[in-house]
Structure formats: structure tokens, C-alpha cells
Structure 1
Amino acid sequence: MKKRPLILVTNDDGIAAPGIRALIEVMKEIGDVIVVAPDNRQSGKGHAVTIDATLFYNRINIDDQVTEEYSCSGTPVDCIKLAVNEILKKKPDICVSGINHGSNSSVNVIYSGTMSAAVEAGIEGIPAIGFSLCDYSWDADFETIKEHVKTITVNTLKNGLPEGVVLNVNFPKLKKEEIKGIKICRQANARWVEEFDKRTNPQGREYFWLTGKFINSDKGEDTDEWALANGYISIVPVQFDLTAHHAIQTLNTWELND
């Protein structure tokens, strides 16, 4: 009998979030599951790590059919580091992160705790996928995408990923029958135009709420934003080598050593 793969599951919405519980349900069909996830919401934390405070993790029991579950006091990246260095007895065959409540397409990948957990796993040499549904509601319907989550995960286990690459997968908020398929995409050239809502507390001190609008100026039909807007699931291969290789030749023309 073929050995079942060991699957590490994490997220940034917290270990009790409906999105990760849906992801766990799918992963139990594929392999043996170990969950290491934040004990509270860590959205927008990016690749933050805890270096100025203590870290804790606790074994918990939310799902009796999951081999092991641990809640962690730190960030999503902390969860991966603790899992690899302290909790797991061997390296997992794959790490899946999510399912995030909300989009992580385009520039959002930079801010995403969901994707940063996947990137951290990739740095550790573990094939990794971040899954996100473009629905910020806590009661989002994850049933519509479970079949696709399974398909993408099984294919990743079967085929592997190029070295230094993890997958950023986003699902449009559509009914199951409305999803047209899956497209391999590039990250759209889009950004947030941000503002701060300035207020004053009862003690007279000013405070701020970050607000803004997401602006997509990219008209390409090969982007994740185009795919999601047109009824497709987007998969963007993400690399964690941030070197702008195309700029090296230009910078070498500068007179830096004269």
C-alpha cells in the first residue's frame, strides 16, 4: 500500500477559522494531517516573525480525526518555523496554507500572512500552496471550491514544484457551476491607493484607521485579476528570490568603483 503523504496545514485567520477547517477536511482525504496555526487572527502580517516576545504553542483538539493540532501564539511564519524545528518529527511532503477569507491576488501577496507561511515552507524546501477565496465573510461558502483545492494539491504532490517556487491560488466568489476552470497566470500590476481615516479618542489623542481602494491598471488577459474577474481560478507561481535579475546589467553600467 502506498504511504499517505504528510501534510502540514496552517493559515493566518486563526486555527478556528472556517477556511482552515474546510482545508483540513480536504487534506484528510489526501494524507495524514498535522495543523500548526495561529491562535488568533494574523491577517496582513506578511512575513513577520516574533523576535521580541516569547512564543507558545499548545496541542488542542478541534477535530478528532486530525492526527495532531497545535495553536501557536505567533505569526503564520512563526507557525512554520516551530512546526519544522520543534513539532514535526520529519519534513512534511507538502504545506498548504488557508483557505484565506479574502483575496491574495496581485500585490496582496506581499502583505499576506497566508502566502508568507507558504513562502516560509518553500524556503525550508517543502512544496507549498497558499489558497484564498475572494470572499471576506466569516461565513464564506468553501464547499464550492473543495474539489479544486484537492485537484491542485494532488497535482502538486504528484508533479512537484520548481525549486524556489510556491503557488498562490485564488478562487473567485462564484457558485460551483459558475467557475469556468483554472488558469496559470502572472501577478497583475495593481496596487492599493491608501488613505488614513483620522479620529480622536475620548482622551483627545488622534488615532488612525487604514482605508483605501484597490486599483488595477493592468489590462493584460494573462493576469490573476483578469482570471478572477472572468470566472476562473488563478494560479500564480511565486518565487522567493526577490532579485530583479533584469536590472543587474543596467546597474553594472553605473560608475560605482571609480
Structure 2
Amino acid sequence: MEILITNDDGIKAPGIHVLAGIMQQLGHVTVVAPDGPRSGQSSALTVNSPLRLRKKEETPSLTVYVCNGTPADCIKLALDQLYNDNNKPDLVATGINHGSNSAISVIYSGTMGAAMEGCVSGILSIGFSLCNHAMEADFSFFEAYILQLTKRILAMEVPYGTCFNVNAPCGELKGIRVARQCKGRWIKEFEKRTDPHGRDYYWMTGEFLSAETDANDTDEAWLNQGYITVVPVRIDMTDYDLLAQMKSLEV
């Protein structure tokens, strides 16, 4: 089995090294990671600057490249230059992200943007995140679940256009729950500050505000109860419920 890995925290982040170690239990791993942090890049691509790809390490079970692009760039470039149509990866795995990508964060996440890029190419893709932003975060309690979940998802018949968003809370885990994405938004997003020259600038902060605090079937609800959440995510953003109603607009 061939597995392609990237992240949005950069090549030096511990999470991607943990994920690469886990995935080597399933097959050969190729890591193509950004050369530095790229959080919040979603599916952004580099279009007006050169991309560079440098091999950093190679062993029988692991090949590591560093790229100066976004997480989606890393997957897109790897599929174009390191693979071909007759030799695609069996799995794209992204993360482990330092910080949650639950709820609306999925649309901003570079981790999930990269997973969606793999999904676009028809490759089974899973994004993994831990609800801990610290670089020294402990992933050990999550590792066995990642391996177990990956094996189970690999055994499924997954339709084209669907990938998976997996998030783990901090602390003791109670188990795994399949969930839907929680509705909500970020508030208090920017903090106004002053630099040493007396000029104003703005620093992104924010907190998540759930729009359905009473719901018990969302990723946020289960994470708050100590469960790992698995959300199937579709790249087709068509609103099929509204589509039929909108036929009246046609002329």
C-alpha cells in the first residue's frame, strides 16, 4: 500500500511525524509537507510563484519531501510529479493537526483542504486533528484509534467525492462517534493591537459559537463528551434540497 501524507503545521510539527509512523504500519509512506506553518490555507494553491520540492529523507518505508507551497499544493504537486495515473497512492492522510478542525473550521483548514485535494483525484482521503494547539501535544492516546479507523475506512466502499474529517478531544477517550458537522461560526475574531511604532494592527484570535448547543449528534457535541468524531465530508457543495425549487428561475 502507498500512502501520501501532508499537513498544514509544517514539516517540523510533531503531528506529521506521528502520523507517518502510524501509517508505515500499513505500507510505504511518502511525506510531502510545507516548509513552515500553513494553517488556515484551506484549498489555496500557489499560482504566480514557483513551487520547489526537495527530498529530505529516504528509507525503505518512508520518503520525505519538503515543499514551499500550501498543503493543497503539496498533494497536487506530489500527484503530478511523484505519481502517475497508473501509480496513484491508495490513501491520502493529512495531519495530525495541532488544533481542532471540527464544525465550520473544516472550510478554513489546510489539513482538510489537502484531504479534499486527494479526494478530487479519486483517492481515499482522511484528515486527522487533535484539539490541542500546543507543539508539545501528546498524541499517544490517539495513535491506536488512528490505525483502527484507517483500516476500517479502507475496507469501506467510499463514493467518489467523499473524504473524512477525524477529530480527537484531549484527555481520556471514551470511544468513536460518527457525527455531522456542527453549525456555528467564529466570533471575536480579531484583537486590535499597537506595534512599537504606534501603528495599529490586528491579530486573529476568536472563539467558536455553536448555533445548535442543544444538538447531541454533532461533532462538537461528541468532542465535548470525550469522543473521537468522524464526519464524512463531500466536495460537491450543491444544495440538492433547494435545487428542485430553483427550477422556477429557469427561462
Instruction: Classify 1:93/1:160 alpha carbon distance in 2 versus 1 (closer, same or farther; 3 Å).
Output: farther
**1:212 corresponds to 2:206:** yes
Structure 2 counterpart of 1:124: 121
Residue 36 (structure 1) shift: 0.8
Asked if the contact 2:94/2:126 (under 8 Å) is kept, the reply is yes
Asked if the contact 2:27/2:61 (under 8 Å) is kept, the reply is no
Structure 2 counterpart of 1:224: 219
- Say what the alpha-carbon RMSD is for the aligned residues: 1.5
Structure 1 counterpart of 2:153: 156
Which residue of 59, 69, 78 corresponds with 2:73?
Answer: 78
State the alpha-carbon separation in 2 of the partners of residues 131 and 185 from structure 1.
Answer: 15
Q: Write out per-residue CA displacement over residues 200-244 of structure 1, whole angstroms, 9 at most, x where no aligned residue.
A: 334444321122221113121111001101111100000000111
Unaligned runs of 5+ in 1: none
**1:146 corresponds to 2:143:** yes
State the alpha-carbon separation in 1 of the partners of residues 164 and 90 from structure 2.
Answer: 15
Q: Write out per-residue CA displacement over residues 57-111 of structure 1, whole angstroms, 9 at most, x where no aligned residue.
A: 10002x7464311000000000011110001252000010000000000000000
Q: Write out per-residue CA displacement over residues 123-172 of structure 1, whole angstroms, 9 at most, x where no aligned residue.
A: 00000000000011101111111100001111122224222100000001
State the alpha-carbon separation in 1 of the partners of residues 189 and 125 from structure 2.
Answer: 34
SS at match of 1:152: helix
State the alpha-carbon separation in 1 of the partners of residues 229 and 204 from structure 2.
Answer: 27
Identity of aligned residues (%): 45
Which residue of 225, 244, 247 corresponds with 1:249?
Answer: 244
Q: Write out per-residue CA displacement over residues 15-58 of structure 1, whole angstroms, 9 at most, x where no aligned residue.
A: 12100000011011111111111111000111100001111010
Residue 196 (structure 1) shift: 2.5
Residue 193 (structure 1) shift: 1.1
Asked if the contact 2:56/2:64 (under 8 Å) is kept, the reply is yes
Instruction: Classify 1:24/1:160 alpha carbon distance in 2 versus 1 (closer, same or farther; 3 Å).
Output: farther
Which residue of 101, 111, 116 corresponds with 1:114?
Answer: 111
Which residue of 171, 174, 181 corresponds with 2:175?
Answer: 181
The count of aligned residue pairs is: 248
**What residue identity is the alignment partner of 1:58?**
R
Unaligned runs of 5+ in 2: none
Once the two structures are overlaid, the 10-residue window that deviates more, 221-230 or 150-159, is 150-159
Once the two structures are overlaid, the 10-residue window that deviates more, 155-164 or 31-40, is 155-164
State the alpha-carbon separation in 1 of the partners of residues 34 and 203 from structure 2.
Answer: 24
Once the two structures are overlaid, the 10-residue window that deviates more, 223-232 or 212-221, is 212-221
Instruction: Classify 1:65/1:22 alpha carbon distance in 2 versus 1 (closer, same or farther; 3 Å).
Output: farther
State the alpha-carbon separation in 2 of the partners of residues 110 and 194 from structure 1.
Answer: 18
Instruction: Classify 1:232/1:64 alpha carbon distance in 2 versus 1 (closer, same or farther; 3 Å).
Output: same
Which residue of 227, 231, 237 corresponds with 1:236?
Answer: 231
State the alpha-carbon separation in 2 of the partners of residues 149 and 196 from structure 1.
Answer: 34
State the alpha-carbon separation in 2 of the partners of residues 213 and 24 from structure 1.
Answer: 31
Return the TM-score normalized by structure 1. 0.92
Return the TM-score normalized by structure 2. 0.94
State the alpha-carbon separation in 2 of the partners of residues 195 and 40 from structure 1.
Answer: 23
Asked if the contact 1:127/1:160 (under 8 Å) is kept, the reply is no
